[in-house]
Amino acid sequence: MNNLPPLAERMRPKSLDDYAGQKHLVGKGAVLRKAIESGSLPSMIFWGPPGVGKTTLAYIISQTLYRPFFSLSAINSGVKDVREVIEKASQLKELGETLPILFIDEIHRFSKSQQDSLLGAVERGIVTLIGATTENPSFEVISALLSRCQVYILQPLEEDDLVNLLDKAMKEDEVLKQKNIEVKEYEALLRLSGGDARKLLNIFELLVNAFPTKRIVITNEVALQHVQQNMALYDKTGEQHYDIISAFIKSMRGSDPNGAVYWLARMIVGGEDPLFIARRMLILASEDIGNANPNALLLAQSCFEAVNVIGWPESQLILSQTAIYLATSAKSNSATTAIGAAIALVKEHGDLPVPLHLRNAPTKLMKNIGYGQDYKYAHSYDGNFVDQDFLPEAIRGTKIYDPGNNSREAETKEKLKKLWGERYKY
């Protein structure tokens, strides 16, 4: 038993019909399944959380189409490795052989030069690229490569998919089917796995191995008791990746620098990508601090740029400084709520016409029909302000921005009261 691969590997599906979840992509008549069945396969990027089957799906595609499968991990592969694979693919093409699929796991970790090295081969069709990423490819993949790939979003597995996966493992796995296993409660197993199928199977195997007898009864209490004490400190690709970044963000939002630095340290020790941490602080600076302290956004942007330039391990000092600053800063989510309210108005009212006096009037005809007429140029008036309408008539007088409860925005609120009086009721 000790020589066998892990349960997650033993249960890896070998065909689309055995594949769990992603029916919107590979179910009967779905878009990706049609492309596979037609044999006309574009280069693509699978975007989704860990454990939803990105690697497995890529391998199934290669087997279904009888195409060679080359696999690289962006963590330990460089430009040299990419070029070696492309050279092998070029040799296959010269021999008239079937062209391969090149799968790159965690493609978002490839540098620009590494991604550039893929472009020519993808353009010429020497390889069909399948990249896998847990991060938004719009931010992580260079535009030239992204434009040559179809992006498919893989969704977290449903509860039924995960339960069925466990039931199937108990019935079909050569080790588990020799045991008498009864799962009375699934909730703790599902919560501990965080919807990650690979992690679920690994946890289940760990739990089963904890019992020396063939008769095993699993409840929520048993799962929590045996699994939590064996879980890793930090899994940067699994559930704790999301739990710990959540704790980090909430500590800064809650103005606790101690919590912020502790969770930052957990990520540093666990090997988290420092740019991922810096990017999340950049978002928080606007989402949770905003105009209560506009300097927060400037510092967070400087932090992101400095981390990108300086590298590891010195970047941890910059991350720590920025996290403490953001945690101790005044807070406001007024910019977040304002854009949310504005988008809601757009969705509710549709494309309201721009008031005539605000319209651009580049031609004589436009001027003659009233475009730009009656517009008042603010700088021509005392205090660089004049009372006029800037919203469509249907929503005139709607207050969208509501200043936050902090000293800086309190000043802004008083200013708006003086300028607009009863129009917006600040």
Confidence of residue 264 (pLDDT cuts 50, 70, 90): very high
Boundary (domain end) residue, out of 153, 186, 219: 153
Q: Do residues 72 and 122 both lie within one domain?
A: yes
Question: 414 and 377: one domain?
Answer: yes
pLDDT, residue 321, reads: 94
Choice between 7 and 328, residue whose per-residue pLDDT is larger: 328
Collect all residues with Cβ–Cβ distance below 8 Å to 344 and sequence separation of at least 6: none
Mean pLDDT taken over the chain:
83
DSSP 111-160: -HHHHHHHHHHHHHTSSEEEEEESS-HHHHS-HHHHTTSEEEEPPPPPHH
What tokens does 319 get?
């991350």
Tallying the residues shown for the chain, one arrives at 426
In Å, what is the CA distance from 45 to each residue of 62, 137, 342?
A: 15, 8, 33
9 belongs to a structural domain: no
Q: What is the amino acid identity at position 211?
A: F
Examine the pLDDT at 366 and tell me if it is beyond 70. no
pTM: 0.53
Give the number of domains in the chain.
4
pLDDT at 234: 42
Q: Is residue 342 part of a domain?
A: no
Tell me the C-alpha distance between 86 and 92, whole Å.
Answer: 10
pLDDT at 232 (0 to 100):
45
**Exposure of 408 by Cβ count < 10 A (0-12 exposed, 13-18 middle, 19+ buried)?**
middle
Q: What is the pLDDT of residues 45-73, one digit of tens each?
A: 888 887 788 888 888 888 888 888 888 88
Task: Tell me whether residue 340 is in a domain.
Answer: no
Smallest CA-to-CA distance from 397 within 380, 418, 421, 381 is with 421
Q: What are the structure tokens assigned to 71, written together?
A: 């696999």
**266: CATH:** 1.20.272.10
Classify residue 81: in a domain, yes or no: yes
Q: How confident is the model at residue 1 (pLDDT cuts 50, 70, 90)?
A: very low
CATH at 411: 1.10.3710
Instruction: Tell me: do 36 and 128 sit in the same domain.
Output: yes
For the chain, what percent of residues have pLDDT higher than 90? 13
Q: Where is the domain boundary, 328, 361, 392? A: 328
Same domain, 226 and 244: no
**Residue range 114-123, pLDDT digits in tens:** 788 788 888 8
For residue 175, the enclosing domain spans: 159-230
150-207: per-residue pLDDT in tens?
888 888 888 888 888 888 888 888 888 788 888 888 888 887 777 778 888 888 888 8
Question: Is residue 48 located within the same domain as residue 165?
Answer: no
Q: How far apart are CA 177 and CA 301, in angstroms?
A: 55
pLDDT in tens, 192-209: 777 778 888 888 888 888
Q: Does residue 10 lie within any of the structural domains? A: no
Whether 144 and 25 share a structural domain: yes
Are 54 and 132 a contacting pair, CB within 8 Å?
yes
Question: Pick from 328, 360, 388: which residue ends a domain?
Answer: 328
Please check whether residues 54 and 91 belong to one and the same domain.
yes
Is there a domain that residue 15 lies in?
Answer: no
Please spell the DSSP secondary structure of 330-381, one letter per residue: ----HHHHHHHHHHHHHHHH-SPPPPGGGS---SHHHHHTTTTTT---GGGS
Residue 299 has pLDDT above 90, yes or no: yes
Residues 163 and 73 occupy one common structural domain: no
Min mean pLDDT across 201-215, 258-272, 406-420 is at 201-215
- The CATH number of the domain where 69 resides is what? 3.40.50.300
Asked if residue 263 belongs to a domain, the reply is: yes
Q: What are phi and psi of 216, to 5 degrees?
A: -130, 125
Cβ neighbours for 140, distance < 8 A, ≥ 6 positions apart: 107, 108, 133
Shared domain check, 128 and 52: yes
Nearest residue to 272 via CA among 233, 326, 321, 298:
233
- What CATH number should be reported for the domain holding residue 181? 1.10.8
Are 201 and 8 in contact by the 8 Å Cβ rule? The answer is: yes
| 51 and 144 co-located in one domain | yes
Q: Are both 217 and 304 inside the same structural domain?
A: no
Give the separation between CA 46 and CA 167, rounded to whole angstroms.
27
Q: Do 198 and 316 lie in a common domain?
A: no
Strands 69-73 and 101-105: parallel
Is 6 a domain residue?
no
Number of Cβ atoms within 10 Å of the Cβ of 279: 18
